[in-house]
Amino acid sequence: MHARYARVRRWEFWPRWLFYLPLFPFWVLLALKHWSATIWTAANTCMPHGGVVGERKSDILSRLPGWAVVPFELIDAAEGSARVAQFGRLVRERGWAFPLIAKPDVGERGEGFRLLLDLATAEAALREHSEALLIQPYHAGPFEAGVFYVRPPGSSRGKIFSITDKYFPRVIGDGYSNVRTLLWADARYRIQADTFLSRLGPLAERVPRTGEPVALAAAGNHCQGTLFRDGSHLLTPALERAIDEIALRIEGFHFGRFDIRYENVEEFKRGERLAIIELNGVLSESTNIYDPSNSLFRAYLTLAKQWLLAFDIGAANARRGARVTGVLELLRAVRMHAARRVPRIAD
């Protein structure tokens, strides 16, 4: 009951539709200003519908400079045994070792994310879904940031709109409590206890040693349990130049968020040794809004600025001849994406 009350009281855990509902009148005003409800779909001409749905992670990552991206390979959509065989071949050819990461090539908000610890967990993940999977070596970080970038069409330089500093959830063993008990004892973690426990499975009953850290999540997604903090203290001219150099490599990219892992804070601030794991398009959020110290008003103000930029950039691209996705076409694309549920394939 305490956890349920906390979810209601803390707006960062509200259902997405409820959180965004107050922004609808502002969105209507923007649509009236531009005489188009979907002109923002032209913000990124390099992605389907600007990056609303349907964009392939592998296609986007392949356009980035190799030195800035965590290596990846694609497992084709196929039946289980064929995928397992393909996985074995690529791991041998690339010389990769566990742990590895698997996630749908088309997906969002950590959907389908799997940490592959060994061959058994890899085979289970490959048989669980039949859609194309992106495989990457696990970058241990220990840090991750969400860097939101914007560049007006025609401008030679862009800027960093915001940075989110991500903190991965973990509990510390006391020598006698199991992970489940430690999780429920934490005022924040208990709010997302169902998410953590479903992921942990039998490991929730393990009793860690005194002082032993136990990770509760590996994906840097708020809905998966990661704590988001405002990362404005990480912003430097050197980092902005490095992100700008990377973004300019992608023709038609103007608006979105880089998810980046890194090992050293000072190197990150200098724009060095960046390890991009994803790049998201026009529906990216400036996720620093989910900082628990942030007010709801400030969060809405940030999102209003973000959507103002999305509409303006889309309109500027449209004037240059970029295609705007119509309302009905966009609704069909969203419906088809939402209905994409592929049953497990066993053979």
| pLDDT value at 288 more than 50 | yes
300-314 mean pLDDT: 97
pLDDT band at 342 (very low <50, low <70, confident <90, very high): very low
Percentage of the chain modeled with pLDDT above 70: 95
Domain residue ranges in the chain: 2-70+139-167+226-338, 71-138, 170-216
| pLDDT value at 261 more than 70 | yes
Contacts of 174 (CB under 8 A, 6+ apart): 182, 210
53-57 mean pLDDT: 83
* 222-228-201-192 Cα dihedral, nearest 10 degrees: -70
21-35, 103-117, 173-187, 222-236: least confidently modelled range: 103-117
| pLDDT value at 346 more than 60 | no
Residue type, 7: R
- Is domain 71-138 given the CATH code 3.30.1490.20 in the classification? yes
CA distances from 223 to 34, 42, 168, 193, 262 (A): 33, 28, 12, 12, 21
| pLDDT value at 150 more than 60 | yes
Q: At what angle do helices 296-319 and 24-34 cross, to 10 degrees?
A: 20
Return the structure tokens found at 266. 């000072």
Q: Where are the alpha helices (DSSP H) in the chain?
A: 2-9, 16-20, 24-34, 57-62, 80-94, 119-128, 179-185, 193-200, 237-247, 265-269, 296-319, 327-338
Q: What pLDDT does 81 receive?
A: 79
How far is it, in rounded angstroms, from Cα 5 to Cα 56? 38
261-273 mean pLDDT: 96
pLDDT band at 108 (very low <50, low <70, confident <90, very high): low
14-19 mean pLDDT: 90
pLDDT band at 344 (very low <50, low <70, confident <90, very high): very low
Question: Using one digit for the tens of pLDDT, what is the confidence trace for 122-137?
Answer: 888 888 777 888 999 9
Reduced to 3 states, what is the DSSP secondary structure of residue 285?
A: coil
CA distances from 315 to 45, 126, 141, 186, 305 (A): 12, 41, 38, 46, 15
Q: What pLDDT does 80 receive?
A: 67
Sheet with 114-116, strands from edge to edge, namely 73-75, 133-137, 100-104, 114-116
Whats the size of the chain, residue-wise? 347
Question: Using one digit for the tens of pLDDT, what is the confidence trace for 23-38?
Answer: 999 999 999 999 999 9
Is 0.85 topped by the overall pTM? yes
Q: Which of 110-119, 181-190, 218-227, 309-318 shows the highest mean pLDDT?
A: 309-318
